[in-house]
Chain A
């Protein structure tokens, strides 16, 4: 049995002084429900991702919170947590729920409200995605984790500081055409390379920003999809893999084993390969991770990711546009909402509704969402075509 997305909703990403967890969830949820043309009584299950509502706003039990805020009690709700991959795990859980035959209409989403705490508390909360006892204990931060990866990538493959910076420049350019992006500001290579150091060699403009936001999609069985919309988007593969919680125990820190595993399974399930993709959302929490991601997803050979971005082929209009939404870097990265927002971007692109950032003729797309340093990776492949 296949699964289709028949509605999507997303808030603007960024700093929302006027909106808390409740308002963000409601805005994204209502937009998705209206986009699908359904009503509350059609919804049978909610699966929602949130990384750390407990540390960011002091609120747990977010499953019950989702149903309460949306006025959907008594339907069941599940909160999923896998750090920055929380809402892609929600999506894969929702796919399983529909495939099981038990649920015919599932709302999947994600939310994070990160700006109600001060900066170093946010840094502390995010550090919970790594091995707290054996990495964070020594003062390692998340930019630091990816800096350790970048340092080795530069050492092993000759990836240059400029190539890494090109990821940020491209993604800021793409975000200019995304009304929901946090940043609508073009940046130059020099801006990135002269921005303040955060964790050498990574600088401020290599890092995705702290943000608030929510996103949601409506899942139904593929055979029912045309009842809701003329342009359902089919989920051709939903694949999750794990690697060690800590980065430090891995033999090679320039590759993410869980990306390779999840991608290979996704290609196998869908019968599609990297060459069949017309665009991809690749988890650029830090610029280096887009480079590593494009390699591990098979868009280029290992070690060639820096040269791929330099070639321009990952821009809109290139062979494989990456992060047309602006990516985590420029669209913003409200961690628990990011996976769901990648799904929203693929649906808008594959429907042909992406406006100034539209990839012409896009039929197949891939979303790659990473939790921690790659300890959880989820890959989804979506298509206009059911088979």
Chain B
């Protein structure tokens, strides 16, 4: 009755989650997250390369979570947003370092590296990207 995962599950996502690494299709110039071997637009005909995003973007939509799932109870209230990166790709992440009522659509944000949560009985500490307002 849990979503607790073995270490390998998190280990294989380190590059994406630690470095905000996604993909760029050289054929259609489409950027997307996470990485994939096929382009969502060109499918197998695309020329997909790994791409490290600049980490700059803006809030596309946002919400403040006040009823949390397992593992996030101690963080409420926290802001989860869809962030539109300057390359055009979108990601879901938390927006931190700003009180929830001051987060709005269009707010410029930049990536930062933070703790996401601790996982269940293993106590594994999961890290990854979040976003903060541009100073």
Contacts and interface: CB of A to CB of B under 8 A. Distances in A.
Is B one of A's binding partners?
Answer: yes
B92 A124 contact: no
A152 B66 contact: no
Nearest to A251: B90
A187 interface: no
A151 B62 CA distance: 7
A197 B64 contact: yes
A41 interface: no
Contacts of B128: 137-138
Contact of B63 (A119, A133, A144): A144
B67 A141 contact: yes
Interface in A186-200: 196-200
Given A133-B13, A138-B80, A120 B61 contact: no
A127 B93 CA distance: 15
Nearest to A151: B61
Q: How large is the interface on B (under 10, 10 to 19, 20 to 34, 35 or more residues)?
A: 35 or more
B31 to A, nearest CB: 11
B122 interface: no
A246 to B, nearest CB: 7
B100 interface: yes
Contact of A134 (B33, B60, B65, B117): B33
Contacts, number: 109
B99 to A, nearest CB: 12
A127 B69 CA distance: 8
Contacts of A143: 67
Contact of B66 (A134, A140, A155, A196): A196
B38 interface: no
A120 B68 contact: yes
Name, among B33, B72, B100, B126, the residue most crowded by chain A CB atoms within 10 Å (CB to CB).
B72
A151 B105 contact: yes
Nearest to A56: B1
A50 B123 CA distance: 32
A39 interface: no
B30 to A, nearest CB: 11
Contacts of B91: 134, 248
Contacts of A151: 61-63, 105
Contacts of B105: 151-152, 155
A100 interface: no
Given A120-B69, A197-B64, A199-B67, A144 B82 contact: no
B78 A139 contact: yes
Contacts of A155: 61, 105
A123 interface: yes
Contacts of A361: none
A212 to B, nearest CB: 17
A201 B34 CA distance: 28
A369 B93 CA distance: 28
Given A139-B71, A139-B94, A253-B82, 11 more contacts: A119-B67, A120-B70, A124-B2, A131-B92, A135-B92, A139-B72, A140-B80, A148-B62, A148-B81, A151-B105, A249-B90
Interface of A: 55, 58, 117, 119-121, 123-124, 127-128, 131-141, 143-144, 147-149, 151-152, 155, 196-202, 246-249, 253
By Cβ-Cβ distance, the 5 closest A-B pairs, closest first, are A147-B63, A139-B72, A148-B61, A200-B64, A199-B63
